[in-house]
Structure 1
């Protein structure tokens, strides 16, 4: 998306209308698909203070991160967990960083893949899903999941650790938690969009927002919960949407259903914002 950092925020109460683990898992997968389709690079999970949603918050983070992980790394990073028992039913994201398993002979200098760090007798190697460990050169970060760039070819494959700043392609999302919506909104800059049925119609801001999206470096779009909008959530924190942004918007001004489900709101809002960015 034109070098734009696109971020999204959902509350830890996002799963309140789902009763079973299977339904919760499926809903999280819908979020993950939408975030990946529209190149969301950071997902915030903020706390809805009305109740304690700690169990759902942990589940949201776990499954979002699991789905963003390339399939060839999941066995190394995720031991069997009851919370992941339905993960095998989910459609893969097939994001750019989900590279297929290939013969190491085909690896070219400059190719990048995600990997996990393996320490063997004091030496660091990368498991990049190639069937064998690859010697890791240079500085090694503490993160177990890394991105590597190959600096030599078969039969003497070697690689080095790189960061997201070194990558031009979309490279998945990271998931972060924040203590409250207020804390999140006070920590970000540039364009903030709060979505709400109580907001002003998007069409009134279409041209202005489209132009601003073309010049900003990052944009954060915030969603409410299935039962409480961002206005109510901020009211509990003694704040108001207008304190944080001029873009307090209704993306479905003529909806003919009583409600728009959160997963529908996410895909709908991101679709419209993608259109404005590309316009």
Structure 2
């Protein structure tokens, strides 16, 4: 008993820690701090078929949660869920449940939910069986997931209702997760998500706030904030490229395979595979259980164009883990590995 008690330590208060010169570890220090506007983006594409390999709903949701966490940690701007033809899909089950019917949509649905700021979820995501355990997944805690007492010149809001009286047709009340009412001086349909710009400093009064609607890219392009990931579905491997939302497409596309060159070569300035830090839109594509070879085999457009080797589709074809000890690397593992391996590429580009 006495031995147990002797191991107890007194927890110093914040003021005591400061006076002792000790580091206060009670609060997070790794808060995202923007430095300058950023035009370039990082995209990640992976097949929804990986969800079909998880046996239970909880495992499927947890898998989606792992992917979302990796995307948040490494500031992925776009996630593409593509159909690699390796999972049978059918019509949704009762009440639209897709976990066992359409793995591509299920992954898209859960990732969309997790990216959405918590104060918007009730309005934008009605009760759905796909999301029955999503609330228990680890928080992404991204810069746009703001607390009510935090101030940022940008926020995500949802249209709650039109203004009242004579203002009904000219402005919209938004829920932006703030204690004040926030109004947009334009009419919006109820439950519309919108990115808004507010004053740089928190107003001293609690009066209603007027805001300006901006592009979802504005926080990144104007101020350099990481503002979560956009997400879309692609019907095939080739559709990742043909449906690209960026003008001019992706500058650099990186396909992953155990038959590729070591990933370090694209980081080595002396290598022919080196990626210069001048790109605007970088895309990383991961395969499923059968690899990107299977995705190519299921893509009629690429096969019709005479593409016989998946490495022909990409600018770089890399092996994430040369001499791997396990026979296979799971896609959810490859997400973390690829984003970690290519982080230096992004950091160099950020510094330009």
Aligned CA-pair RMSD: 2.5
Match of 1:182 in 2: 238
Q: Hey, what does 1:203 align to over in structure 2?
A: 264
Provide the rounded CA distance (Å) in 2 between the counterparts of 1:111 and 1:49. 43
* Structure 2 residue 199 is the aligned partner of structure 1 residue 158: no
- Report the more deviating stretch, 235-244 or 165-174: 235-244
The CA deviation at 1:140 is 5.3
Against the structure 1 CA distance between its residues 143 and 119, is the aligned structure 2 distance closer, same or farther, given a 3 Å change threshold? closer
Q: Deviation of residue 212 (structure 1)?
A: 2.8
Aligned length: 273
Contact 2:181 2:207 (C-alpha < 8 Å) held by counterparts: no
CA 1:142–1:161 in structure 2 vs 1: closer, same or farther (change >3 Å)?
Answer: farther
Instruction: Describe the shift of the 1:180–1:12 C-alpha distance in structure 2 as closer, same or farther (beyond 3 A).
Output: same
Contact 2:156 2:195 in 1 (8 A): yes
Partner of 2:48: 12
Mapped pair 1:67 → 2:119? no
Larger fraction in strand: 1
- Of residues 225, 231, 235, the one that matches 1:169 is 225
Correspondence for 2:285 among 197, 222, 235: 222
How many Å separate the matches in 2 of 1:74 and 1:143? Answer: 10
1:22 is paired with a residue of what secondary structure? helix
Structure 2 unmatched runs, 5+? 1-33, 90-100, 163-167
Match in the other structure for 2:20: none
Higher relative contact order (CA 8 A, sep 6+): 1
SS of equivalent to 2:208: coil
TM-fit CA distance, 1:247: 0.8
Aligned-residue offset at 1:31: 0.4
Aligned to 2:79: 43
Map residues 27-106 of structure 1 onto 2, 5 A cutoff: 27-53=63-89, 55-102=102-149
* Equivalent-residue separation in structure 2 for 1:142 and 1:180 (angstroms): 34
Cα separation, 1, equivalents of 2:172 and 2:338: 43
**C-alpha contact (below 8 Å) 1:72/1:101 kept by paired residues:** no
8 Å contact kept, 1:196–1:250: yes
Q: Is the 8 A contact 1:185 1:244 kept in 2?
A: no
Q: TM-score, normalised by structure 1?
A: 0.88
- The answer for the alignment partner of 2:59 in structure 1 is 23
Quote the Cα distance in structure 2 between the aligned partners of 1:139 and 1:215. 41
TM norm structure 2 = 0.71
CA gap of 1:74–1:143, structure 2 versus 1, over 3 A, is: closer
Residue pair 2:267, 2:275 contacting (<8 A) in 1 also = no
Question: Which structure would you say has the larger Rg?
Answer: 2
In structure 1, stretches of 5+ residues that fail to align are none
Q: Is the 8 A contact 1:6 1:218 kept in 2?
A: yes
| SS of equivalent residue, structure 2 residue 277 | helix
